[in-house]
């Protein structure tokens, strides 16, 4: 394959590839709220058909369907791609500078919900194959796509899919769905993800909101939830659920070396976020270790009573909190859920209801795998710079279910930047990162085919 020829072709067709992306970002595919899901499936199916002459198989689940697509089959090597077509909810909507579902290009950036996470990556991958096909008519390796619709709500049906369709998963390596750049624009190459346990804790008091004069004698569920939370993590950031840290597999020497090479621009990150320190005043290798190799217990949301303008004197009848735990290798979300239940029972909170939204195990690929080498080469070629190798992202995905569980190595890189603001208002990618992302894919396929 002549990479330069394809790169030229990509440059000539950049407006077309950008339009594919802004078109799919106009669909508000918020799985949590069941919006625009069918429309997304149709859009993607049509794109594969029209541009890659590939029939998408729509695999039904008890939730949103998983799209599967296979190209070739005659080659020795198979590379698979995992992506998702759902996005996070767009609220708080008032903090967006433009409509999250009317993509806008400003200052060289495309702004839209999902443009970084991860429609930009999905469409860049399709665009890369389309460019190769335009020039060569076929591909040097077999290719597979798995595109789910529930990544942002915890990939609830992916485990079933993974068990029922081992044949569809089968591949020599997998390119994962996400990817960002550092502040200095170095591209990150990620070899793993943290796991996840997402729970909602709900507590009820009286059967109606009451005048707050009753607070003298009627229990307040918001207060009890505050005390319960305080019993779960102390202000030194230590999780107090029994055995929470016990099963963690300590990082290997190789993993600790990768941590040394991993670059985190502390000053710029703090400056960018308007902060003067990291958690527990950490810095240097301790900070990096905490970021990549330690679990979290995070409050995603706390809601109770009156939170609008002004002062309402009310004793709320309910309180609830959403919590995500990011887990590291060795930790089992099922076991932690049980330990959480026991802890609450033992501390006087039997009446707290736990709703479990998602459970995923952590995953890591060794840096000695062939796909890692190919990816490094491709990234160097296109970005003219060594990638920043991230042993595992502090984020989560169902990588374990689709890859490591079946012995498939996986890497992740993509078109996002440091300030892509995924999951937040004004999500964006740089137009140039998007075009480079298409080229890296072309180059990766070229490296990996050998």
Residues between 293 and 332 with contacts to its own copies, criterion CB under 8 A = 294, 296-316, 319-320, 322, 324, 326
Closest listed residue to residue 114, CA positions, set 10, 43, 185, 188? 43
Please report whether residue 214 would count as binding its own copies according to CB under 8 A.
Answer: yes
Which of 331, 422, 428, 447: binder of its own copies (CB under 8 A)? Answer: 422
Whose Cβ is closer to its own copies: residue 90's or residue 436's? 90
Within residues 32-71, the interface with its own copies by CB under 8 A covers 32-33
State the alpha helices, DSSP H only, in 53-165: 120-136, 158-164
- Distance separating alpha carbons of residues 437 and 212, to the nearest angstrom: 57
CB neighbourhood size of 276 (10 A):
8
Tokens of 330: 């060795």
Q: How many amino acids of this chain bind its own copies (CB under 8 A)?
A: 90
Give the x-and-dash track for 228-267 against its own copies (CB under 8 A).
-xx--xxx--------------------------------
Q: Hey, which bits of 60-172 come out as E strands?
A: 66-71, 78-84, 104-106, 109-111, 142-148
Q: Which one of residues 77, 119, 194, 439 is an interface residue with its own copies (CB under 8 A)?
A: 194
Residue 418 is a binding residue for its own copies (CB under 8 A)? no
Among 40, 118, 155, 358, binds its own copies (CB under 8 A): 358
Tell me how far, at minimum, the Cβ of 402 lies from its own copies, in Å.
Answer: 19
- Choose which of 168, 291, 343, 361 interacts with its own copies (CB under 8 A): 291
User: Distance (Å, rounded) from C-alpha 160 to C-alpha 283?
Assistant: 41
Interface characters, 67-106, with its own copies (x: CB under 8 A): ---------------------xx-xx--x-----------
Angle formed at CA 130 by CA 128 and CA 136, multiple of 5 degrees: 100
Segment near its own copies (CB under 8 A); pick from 72-80, 131-139, 211-219, 362-370: 211-219
Residues belonging to the chain: 450
Please name the helix (run of DSSP H) or strand (run of DSSP E) that holds residue 395, with its range, or none.
none
Q: From the CB of 270, what's the least distance to its own copies, in Å?
A: 9
Alpha carbon separation from 71 to 79, 133, 204, 419 (Å, rounded): 10, 11, 53, 34
Applying CB under 8 A, which of residues 3, 57, 99, 200 lies at the interface with its own copies? 200
CB of 168 to its own copies, least distance (A): 26
Token pair 């009317």: residue = 102
DSSP 8-state assignment for residue 118: I
Q: Answer whether 389's CB lies under 8 Å from 365's CB.
A: no
> In terms of CB distance, is 65 or 205 closer to its own copies?
205
């Amino acid at each position: 394959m002549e990479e330069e020829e394809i790169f030229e072709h990509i440059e000539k067709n950049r407006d077309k590839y950008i339009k594919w992306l802004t078109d799919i970002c106009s669909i508000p595919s918020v799985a949590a709220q069941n919006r625009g899901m069918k429309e997304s499936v149709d859009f993607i199916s049509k794109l594969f058909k029209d541009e890659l002459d590939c029939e998408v198989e729509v695999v039904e689940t008890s939730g949103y369907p998983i799209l599967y697509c296979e190209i070739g089959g005659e080659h020795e090597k198979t590379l698979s791609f995992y992506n998702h077509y759902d996005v996070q909810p767009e609220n708080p909507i008032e903090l967006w500078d433009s409509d999250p579902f009317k993509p806008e290009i400003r200052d060289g950036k495309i702004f839209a919900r999902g443009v970084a996470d991860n429609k930009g990556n999905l469409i860049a991958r399709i665009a890369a194959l389309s460019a190769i096909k335009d020039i060569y008519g076929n591909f040097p390796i077999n290719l597979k796509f798995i595109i789910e619709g529930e990544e942002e709500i915890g990939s609830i049906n992916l485990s079933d899919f993974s068990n029922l369709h081992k044949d569809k998963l089968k591949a020599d390596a997998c390119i994962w769905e996400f990817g960002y750049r550092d502040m200095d624009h170095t591209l990150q190459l990620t070899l793993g993800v943290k796991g996840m346990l997402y729970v909602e804790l709900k507590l009820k008091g009286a059967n109606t909101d009451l005048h707050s004069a009753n607070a003298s004698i009627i229990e307040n569920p918001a207060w009890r939830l505050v005390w319960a939370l305080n019993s779960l993590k102390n202000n030194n950031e230590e999780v107090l659920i029994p055995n929470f840290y016990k099963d963690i597999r300590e990082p290997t020497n190789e993993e600790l070396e990768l941590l040394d090479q991993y670059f985190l621009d502390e000053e710029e990150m703090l400056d960018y976020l308007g902060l003067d320190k990291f958690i527990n005043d950490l810095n240097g290798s301790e900070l990096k270790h905490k970021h990549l190799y330690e679990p979290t217990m995070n409050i995603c949301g706390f809601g109770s009573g009156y939170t609008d303008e002004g002062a309402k004197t009310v004793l709320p009848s309910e309180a609830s909190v959403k919590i995500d735990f990011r887990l590291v290798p060795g930790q089992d979300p099922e076991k932690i859920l049980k330990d959480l239940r026991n802890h609450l029972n033992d501390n006087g909170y039997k009446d707290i209801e736990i709703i479990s939204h998602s459970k995923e195990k952590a995953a890591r690929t060794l840096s000695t795998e062939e796909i890692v080498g190919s990816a490094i080469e491709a990234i160097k070629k296109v970005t003219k710079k060594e990638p920043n190798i991230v042993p595992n992202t502090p984020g989560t995905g169902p990588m374990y279910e689709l890859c490591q569980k079946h012995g498939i190595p996986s890497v992740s890189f993509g078109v996002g930047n440091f300030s892509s603001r995924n999951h937040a208002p004004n999500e964006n990618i740089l137009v140039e990162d998007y075009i480079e992302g298409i080229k890296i894919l072309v180059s990766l396929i070229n490296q990996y085919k050998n």
